């Protein structure tokens, strides 16, 4: 039994008469009115839901203690490399509790450094963030993309790096692409849509690539690429080393990509369909001094390879295999002079190797511990293409805060460039790899982080994190708030479920479309293992996931509510019949399928959380986290599910656990959230968990 009390008065959620016909079956949608977050009725409903949640969490000693500790845990300097051009490293710094980070420029020899962009000056409340930056090849211009209140919409601006003054350039309606500078630094290519015509949650169509020249108005930008016959394609621009080829990576919402080229030297700039088969994934790596284009792909095998293509002879028979598929997932490849730095995954953890392009010889690049290497930034060596530039990247683990490592040249090892000083001793904890057997016999791995020497007696609270979708690998990552959870006596478990990418394309494909329920079977199997092995017990097991992971935990908990003591589902996808009608949702059909197709409708109805809530069934305490300005996953997913769960629990004959909704006002899907907003959200999250599990509070528990 939770410590919330046995009776709650939920805000009224009027049931409408909306319904929809699917393949001869009428499906009611009584809370469709909650799909309009701009309506006054919904605004009042959100206010009442937030007030209820706050009333249940306020005044509890856990809340004040957690707020103080999480604030303290955030008070460490963080640095993140952003670009390296003309001997200067551009990197983000946050001294601790700054609402937004600050972009610094520092000479590689350490001779000088200066602030070039302070994102905190973009808004008074810290809710306007810089989502992306790109430095021109000559080091003169900074293109930076501004995101307001957590939105995925971007506005590109241009700053003169000599005067540190902004140019008048304002490029609106940008989304889903970075900026690719021309080699002469006169302008850049970016992706945009037309002006949104039907509200911020309207389905997105007709992405375009435009060329913008510095100092010009957006209306004068040149349209470089658009496919009127493919309105849902999304484009990512990249520039070849020679500056001739605009490499257009095309995403159609599936696990497959296409690559087209635009010859910027040709008068008509007619696209060349370089890789157009649409049955493999392709990621841009770079171009060699000889003009070959390198791609990271699964076209040769599900674990990944690197291929070289001559744009003048693009036929598959002329491809050159640079890195053949191996036993481990190739997560990324970075071109640096005459060699590649390869990052592979070993049971979800990163391993690095350096490979010579000419001979294929490899050597390992040791990392500090089990963890994740990511965010590789190589010095732009355009003027001397055969020479390796300095390479910077992030390294972190569950108890190791993000560290920046530098590889100075092609003979150097990875050495620390910046080490975060955290008010926490990670040596007191350990991370181990364990395996659970899923329903069909597949072994599912998990990383378990716990205090060293912990006795496994079933009395430890456990946070089980799951995702399992879109081929995205769940790797060891540092989240400051989870340190407080460990200090509360908690155990952290991150499962590597099918649907993810930890073991390559086959691992992803094993839980897509009609096989999607395997993700939830895997998650349940991990939960059963944790109970059976006495890591925890059901009353102390918390299901936690965000976005697609919010779907994973909700579907799993609804199927096996007896296995969990609490659930936290953040910015979740929960209405599997209508998700495709909002924003970029249609692009998720490659994993989920569409209710418009009879065979896929059957599978979706089998697990769609919104449609599988049963009145009278006992569910664990539930917290739904979302944000009003989330235009990636419509907040109505959480709204409608909260109303449905609250009604079902209110009608139960026996006392039930609470169903709470917390809606952040000026925030989106997560990126760009201010440090203060993040601390307060995480404070409420862990206060809720402590109350749901009945964890006793004692002064000094958090330290």
Residues with active-site annotation: 547, 669
Between the alpha carbon of residue 445 and those of residues 399, 435, 439, 496, 538, the distances in Å are 19, 4, 14, 6, 20
Residue 284: which of 213, 334, 341 has the closest Cα?
Answer: 334
Nearest partner of 690 among 532, 531, 463, judged by Cα? 463
Non-local (6+) Cβ contacts of 233 within 8 A are 207, 227, 250, 251, 252
Question: What is d(CA 310, CA 411) in angstroms, rounded to the nearest whole number?
Answer: 29
Q: Which residue reads 């998650």 in tokens?
A: 523
Q: What residues form DSSP beta bridges with 134? A: 143
Distance CA 125, CA 314 (A): 51
Q: What is the 3-state secondary structure (H, E, C) of 396-422?
A: ECCCCCCEEEEECCCCCCCEEEECCCC
- If you compute the radius of gyration of the chain from its CA atoms, what whole number of angstroms results? 25
Cα distance between the two ends of the chain: 28
Residues 488, 495: Cα–Cα separation, whole Å: 21
Antiparallel, parallel or unpaired: β 566-570 and 271-280: unpaired
| Cα–Cα dist 501/332, whole Å | 12
Angle CA 81–329–318, to nearest 5: 95
> What is the DSSP pairing of strand 293-297 with strand 282-287?
antiparallel
> Of the candidates 315, 261, 251, which has an alpha carbon nearest to the alpha carbon of residue 283?
251
Residue 138 class from Cβ within 10 Å (0-12 exposed, 13-18 middle, 19+ buried)?
middle
Across-strand partners of 307?
A: 295, 321
Helix (H, G, I), strand (E, B) or coil at 558: helix
CB contact at 8 A, 466 and 523: yes
Strand order of the β-sheet with 113-118 is 78-85, 88-94, 102-107, 113-118
d(CA 84, CA 133): 11
């Amino acid at each position: 039994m939770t410590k919330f009390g046995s009776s709650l008065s939920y805000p009224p959620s009027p049931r409408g008469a909306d319904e929809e016909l699917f393949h001869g079956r009428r499906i009611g949608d009584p809370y469709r009115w909650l799909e309009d977050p701009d309506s006054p009725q919904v605004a009042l409903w959100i206010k009442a839901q937030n007030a209820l949640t706050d009333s249940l969490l306020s005044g509890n000693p856990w809340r004040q203690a957690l707020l103080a500790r999480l604030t303290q845990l955030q008070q460490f300097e963080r640095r993140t490399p952003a670009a390296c051009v003309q001997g200067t490293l551009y990197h983000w710094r946050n001294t601790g509790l700054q609402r937004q980070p600050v972009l610094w420029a520092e000479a590689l020899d350490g001779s000088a450094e200066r602030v070039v962009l302070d994102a905190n000056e973009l808004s008074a409340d810290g809710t306007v963030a810089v989502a992306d930056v790109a430095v021109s090849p000559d080091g003169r211009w900074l293109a930076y993309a501004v995101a307001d209140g957590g939105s995925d919409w971007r506005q590109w601006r241009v700053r003169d790096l000599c005067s540190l003054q902004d140019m008048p350039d304002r490029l609106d309606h940008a989304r889903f692409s970075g900026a690719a500078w021309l080699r002469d630094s006169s302008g850049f290519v970016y992706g945009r849509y037309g002006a949104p015509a039907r509200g911020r949650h309207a389905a997105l169509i007709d992405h375009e690539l435009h060329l913008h020249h510095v100092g010009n108005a957006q209306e004068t930008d040149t349209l470089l690429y658009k496919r009127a016959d493919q309105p849902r394609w999304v484009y990512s621009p990249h520039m070849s080393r020679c500056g001739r080829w605009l490499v257009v990576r095309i995403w159609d919402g599936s696990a497959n990509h296409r690559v087209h080229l635009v010859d910027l030297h040709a008068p008509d700039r007619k696209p060349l369909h370089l890789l157009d088969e649409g049955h493999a994934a392709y990621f841009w790596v770079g171009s060699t001094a000889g003009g070959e284009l390198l791609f990271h792909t699964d076209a040769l095998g599900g674990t990944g390879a690197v291929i070289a293509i001559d744009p003048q002879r693009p036929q598959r028979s002329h491809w050159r295999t640079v890195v053949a598929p191996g036993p481990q997932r190739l997560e990324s490849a970075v071109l640096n002079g005459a060699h590649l730095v390869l990052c592979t995954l070993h049971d979800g953890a990163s391993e690095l190797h350096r490979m010579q392009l000419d001979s294929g010889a490899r050597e390992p690049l040791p990392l500090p511990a089990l963890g994740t290497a990511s965010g590789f930034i190589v010095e732009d060596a355009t003027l001397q293409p055969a020479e390796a530039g300095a390479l910077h990247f992030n390294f972190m683990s569950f108890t190791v805060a993000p560290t920046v490592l530098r590889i100075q040249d092609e003979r150097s090892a990875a050495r620390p460039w910046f080490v975060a000083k955290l008010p926490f001793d990670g040596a007191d904890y350990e991370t181990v790899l364990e395996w659970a057997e899923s329903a069909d016999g597949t072994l599912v791995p998990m990383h378990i982080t716990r205090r060293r020497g912990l006795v496994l007696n079933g009395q430890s609270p456990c946070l089980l994190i799951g995702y399992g979708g879109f081929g995205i690998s769940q790797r060891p990552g540092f989240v400051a708030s989870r340190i407080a959870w460990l200090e509360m006596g908690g155990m952290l478990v991150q499962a590597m479920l099918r649907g993810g990418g930890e073991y390559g394309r086959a691992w992803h494909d094993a839980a897509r479309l009609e096989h999607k329920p395997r993700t939830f079977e895997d998650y349940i199997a991990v939960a059963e293992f944790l109970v059976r092995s006495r890591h925890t017990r059901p009353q102390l097991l918390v299901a936690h996931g965000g976005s697609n992971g919010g779907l994973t935990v909700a579907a799993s908990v609804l199927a096996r509510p007896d296995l969990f003591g609490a659930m936290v589902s953040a910015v979740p996808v929960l209405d599997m019949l209508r998700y495709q009608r909002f924003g970029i949702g249609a692009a998720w059909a490659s994993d989920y399928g569409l209710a418009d197709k009879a065979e896929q409708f059957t599978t979706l109805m089998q697990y769609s959380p919104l449609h599988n809530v049963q009145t009278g069934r006992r569910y664990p305490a539930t917290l739904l986290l979302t944000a009003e300005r989330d235009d990636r996953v419509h907040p109505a997913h959480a709204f409608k599910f909260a109303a449905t769960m609250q009604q079902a629990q209110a009608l139960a004959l026996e006392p039930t656990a609470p169903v709470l909704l917390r809606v952040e006002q000026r925030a989106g899907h997560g990126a760009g959230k201010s440090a203060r907003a993040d601390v307060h959200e995480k404070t409420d999250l862990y206060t809720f968990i402590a109350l749901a599990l009945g964890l006793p509070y004692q002064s000094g528990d958090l330290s």
